[in-house]
Amino acid sequence: MKTDTAGRQAEWFVPGFGPARFRSVVGLLFLPYTGMVLSFSVIGSITVASIDWTRVIAIAVIYFLGLGIGAHALDALGSKGVKPWGAVFGRRGLWLVAVTSLTAAYAIAIYYMIEYVPLLWSAALAEGFFVFAYNLEWFEGRFHTDGWFAFSWGFLPVMAGHIMQRNGVSVQAFALGLSMALLSLVEIKASRPYKELKRRIDSLSDEERSMLAAYEAILKGVSLGVISLSGGLLIWRLSA
């Protein structure tokens, strides 16, 4: 079943300028939510006493390629017909984008895993599973749930960032990962009814429009709040 991509171009995170295809590319990246995941990886990275800033950049690039581009391209494909943005780019193009970006992400990750942080294999293999199982809704959608979303795109990025720095785990990082997973859970719980209301935007009642605005406010607050938290922590560590 195809969805209305024109309605998605009116999303709050899609720029209101430029050609339709450019706006669709930006929309496909879901930048505020991608920003959340990058922030989780950064937050996990700066929980150690001595920070290797090159590795902070590397893990952020890995997640941008793997999640921001690759996973969202796969999500546009889905397993139940074309999803938002899928009709704009076509299946072959989306597969090309997904495979290329995931290959680049894993090329960077494998370098670090071989040379410095072999424990990162645990997070890399888990994320590799979820990038397909969640977004393509494998196993009858059993992993396409809010809980697995919070685990794969909230908890694991924090742990991956932490592991990238010290090739180890800690109770503190685990607790921080759990906290970020709960924020991811808030985001996905608001996102699902938001998207459903957005699909029916032209036929919403006044009450439903108020609900849509409330969900949008939650999504903005959570995503921009996490990004701001990451930025603040980065400034704090850089100035320490």
Q: Which two tokens stand for residue 53?
A: 């800033």
Q: What are 186-203's pLDDT values in tens digits?
A: 999 999 999 889 888 889
Predicted local distance difference test score (pLDDT) of residue 7: 58
Task: Tell me the pTM.
Answer: 0.92
CA distances for 208 relative to 125, 195, 201, angstroms: 41, 12, 9
* Residue scoring higher pLDDT (14 or 155): 155
Predicted local distance difference test score (pLDDT) of residue 198: 87
Q: Which two tokens stand for residue 61?
A: 């690039």
Q: What are 56-114's pLDDT values in tens digits?
A: 999 999 999 999 999 999 998 875 554 556 567 788 999 999 999 999 999 999 999 99
DSSP state of 137: T
Percent of the chain residues topping a pLDDT of 90: 75
* Residue scoring higher pLDDT (17 or 38): 38
Mean pLDDT for the chain? Answer: 91
Mean pLDDT of 133-141: 92
Alpha-helical (H) ranges within the chain are 5-8, 20-29, 31-45, 53-63, 72-77, 86-89, 91-115, 120-133, 138-141, 146-150, 156-166, 171-199, 206-239
Q: Tally Cβ neighbours within 10 Å of residue 20.
A: 11
Predicted local distance difference test score (pLDDT) of residue 161: 98
User: Taking CA 141 as the corner, what is the angle to CA 139 and CA 145, rounded to the nearest 5 degrees?
Assistant: 130
Predicted local distance difference test score (pLDDT) of residue 60: 98
Predicted local distance difference test score (pLDDT) of residue 128: 97
Predicted local distance difference test score (pLDDT) of residue 208: 94
Predicted local distance difference test score (pLDDT) of residue 187: 97
Mean pLDDT of 3-24: 77
Does the pLDDT of residue 150 top 80, yes or no? Answer: yes
Does the pLDDT of residue 17 top 90, yes or no? Answer: no
Domain ranges of the chain: 14-235
CATH code of 14-235, in short, is 1.10.600
Q: Please report which confidence band the pLDDT of residue 217 belongs to, taking 50, 70 and 90 as the band edges.
A: very high
Q: Please report which confidence band the pLDDT of residue 1 belongs to, taking 50, 70 and 90 as the band edges.
A: very low
